[in-house]
Amino acid sequence: MSDEQVYLNGQLVPAARAGVSVFDEGFLHGATVFTTMRAHNGKVFRLSEHLARLTDTAQLLGLHVETDAAALTEAVARVLSANALADARVRITLSPGAGDGVTTLVTAQPLTAYPAAWYERGIVTVVSSFRQWPGDPAYGHKTGCYLQRVLARQEAAAKGAEEALWYTGDNRLAEACFCNVFLVLKGKVLTPPLDTPVLPGIVRGAVIELCGRLGIGCDDTSPLTVREMLAAEEVFLTASLTGVRPVCRIERHDVGDGAPGEVTRRIMTEYQRLLEAQCPA
């Protein structure tokens, strides 16, 4: 929108006039941490969890940025109000700046209307040619170093797929470019453990909770390989903006009968109820 407002270093400013120093560490070296969140009915789903993860990431990577939860919560509310948004894509980006102060940026844009077919029929994924390596600080965290993930998504799109699944150097299933991945095997929900490494996704955590409520067995501690992936009766991806998306095919391999399975559908329904309950109109 032409009159979009963003929060930059304590002030609301028009997006077209917002700018950071050419010497900002985020611009020069990708030294940023960020989180992308979904606002529903004017409220961000599990904002406190997003902010806690943002703080943990900054501390783990040794980035000298300010992550005051109260100030960031207020900033998010101001941006949503200034742009008159109820359902939105909200992002917080923090950078060490240019040596004269931290850069804090909060943006909010209308939530994309994702294709209904993604949820009704499932999406197609491929296996990425890239690999994740334990010890690499870019993996398991939301940082500005996302070039490989962008390239992997482009690789997937060129093959007619919506996402790409990543494996580690020793062939363990990790995650998708911008999503966590879940398998359903013999009625049990499985997802790669955090130390694979994978991002501790907010919706990932919510799905694990929902499995407990629904009485569905769930294992988030055991490593997964291509064997489990190919044997899975169902596969689905989770992310803050897209929620829970069934996967109907991986490369040329149909998942189950090629349609969203019963467990996935139950979790999709319960996740939507959880979103409405925690972000009421």
Q: Is 110 left (phi over 0), alpha (psi -120 to 50) or beta?
A: beta
Omega before residue 280 within 30° of 0, cis: no
CA distance 265 to 256: 14
Burial 86-117 (b: 16+ CB within 10 A, else e): eebbbbbbbbbbbeeebbbbbbbbebeeeeee
Pairing label, strands 123-132, 163-168 = parallel
What is the average pLDDT across 212-217? Answer: 98
Q: Where are the domains of the chain?
A: 5-110, 116-278
Class of domain 116-278: alpha beta
Question: Model-level pTM?
Answer: 0.96
HEC per residue, 205-230: HHHHHHHHHHCCCEECCCCCCHHHHH
132-159 pLDDT per residue, tens: 988 888 899 999 999 999 999 999 999 9
Both tokens of 188, joined, read: 């049990």
CA distance 219 to 229: 14
100-142 pLDDT per residue, tens: 889 999 999 999 999 999 999 999 999 999 999 888 888 999 9
Pick the CATH number of 5-110 from 3.30.470.10, 3.60.15.10, 3.40.50.300, 3.40.50.150: 3.30.470.10
